[in-house]
Structure 1
Amino acid sequence: MAKIFAEIDDKLQKFIEEQPMFFVATAPSEGGHVNVSPKGYRDTFAILDEHTVAYLDLFGSGAETIAHLRDNGRITVMFCSFTRTSKILRLFGTGRVVRPDSPEFDALRPHFGLQHPGIRAVIVVSVDRIADSCGYSVPYLDLVDERPVLDALHARRTDDEFAQRITTVNAASIDGLPALLPDHPLPSSIER
């Protein structure tokens, strides 16, 4: 039976910290496509308090989450256990984008492992509903390791390549909603 929680308590925090990945879901206000993105690297997710979480947003093939948050702020973060203990946990809330050139980004830095090249932003989520479900049909999987491919790819990218991504594939969602602005900071501007 699904349970609703009043806050992210110590037990839920422990569950979240044990998961090697999470999923982020957003959608535009009207029509368009629902987006679900898998996220990895354990040091990219942080619990800020009982009702606030955040994650490092790394450059990717698109910017759906950013575009949808700019449109309406709605976001769901889902954690799913692949171990013998079955559980799915969803954090529903309102998200916002914190750019690397904002003072708030600097205040959030200590919560993450910032050795990842290709940091685009921090997504901060004000959580208003916390619910779990059984996950009985989720398969058992053994974690081999974190996949280093995205970090390796970003480490090879030049400022010009990131600048091009900002003005092309990260400029708008697949439905045409605005995402990154042309003045978005390059990852090289973030002190590592």
Structure 2
Amino acid sequence: MATGKKLNGTLRKFIEKQPVFFVATADQTGRVNVSPKGLDTLRIEDDNRIVWLNLSGSGNETAAHVQATGRMTLMFCAFEGNPMILRVYGQAKTYHPRNAEWAPLVSKFAKMGGSRQVFDLTIDLVQTSCGTGVPEMDLRRSRGEEDLEPYYDELGSDGVKEYWQRRNVETIDGRPTGIFED
């Protein structure tokens, strides 16, 4: 196991090769949330900062937890090649389409239906571990490009906001997510 305060070239290359990453957040009380993320939704800004685009989904736990505590962990696993697990710990901020920071941040990504938030993570710890317990697997396809994005594109802007109202206003613990207000 190796730890450090920031990314380096080797770790950056490792992150850029991974088709999926995992996001973990928690409030002071209540449930811990872990979510898989994919598509081309992550950018390494520098060795101390990662931004990622969060697309609409059935829940919105990450936004509420970041709003409450700011704590976030990203985890990357090698599913092919040499084994490795990389965890990136830090403090995150959430930016919504209503925020002034939204436009410059979302412009880093291709336009995607259902774009909901951009999370901006300032790294305070980086940790690697062996990852030999993670199976080797082949990537068959990205379901998001064929299933997720077209669904939200077809809903349109108003339909996405209606979906957020139904599904993304509160966490499973009943806490506000800030989807419509700070």
TM-score (norm 1): 0.88
The secondary structure found in structure 2 opposite 1:155 is helix
> Is it true that 1:139 corresponds to 2:170 in the alignment?
no
Please say if residues 166 and 180 of structure 1, whose CA atoms lie closer than 8 Å, have aligned partners that are also in contact: no
The secondary structure found in structure 2 opposite 1:79 is strand
| Identical-residue share of aligned pairs (%) | 38
Q: Which residue of 2 aligns with 1:122?
A: 118
Please say if residues 31 and 173 of structure 2, whose CA atoms lie closer than 8 Å, have aligned partners that are also in contact: yes
Q: Which residue of 2 aligns with 1:71?
A: 68
Output one character per residue of 1:16-44: Cα deviation in whole Å (capped at 9) or x when no partner: 000001000011112x1111000010x21
Please say if residues 83 and 141 of structure 1, whose CA atoms lie closer than 8 Å, have aligned partners that are also in contact: yes
Q: 4+ residue runs of structure 1 moved beyond 4 angstroms?
A: none
When the two structures are aligned, how many residues end up with a matched partner?
180
Please say if residues 56 and 115 of structure 2, whose CA atoms lie closer than 8 Å, have aligned partners that are also in contact: yes
Q: Which residue of 2 aligns with 1:40?
A: 38
Q: Which residue of 1 aligns with 2:108?
A: 111
Pair 16,128 (structure 1): closer, same or farther in 2 beyond 3 Å: same
CA distance in 2, matches of 1:132, 1:14: 14
* 1:9 partner letter: N
The secondary structure found in structure 1 opposite 2:88 is strand
CA distance in 2, matches of 1:175, 1:3: 35
The correspondence of residues 50-69 of structure 1 with structure 2, limited to 5 A, is: 50-69=47-66
Q: Which residue of 2 aligns with 1:188?
A: none
Output one character per residue of 1:56-76: Cα deviation in whole Å (capped at 9) or x when no partner: 011100100001111111110
Pair 158,112 (structure 1): closer, same or farther in 2 beyond 3 Å: closer
Q: Which residue of 2 aligns with 1:187?
A: none
CA distance in 2, matches of 1:181, 1:97: 10
Please say if residues 96 and 179 of structure 2, whose CA atoms lie closer than 8 Å, have aligned partners that are also in contact: no
The secondary structure found in structure 2 opposite 1:53 is strand
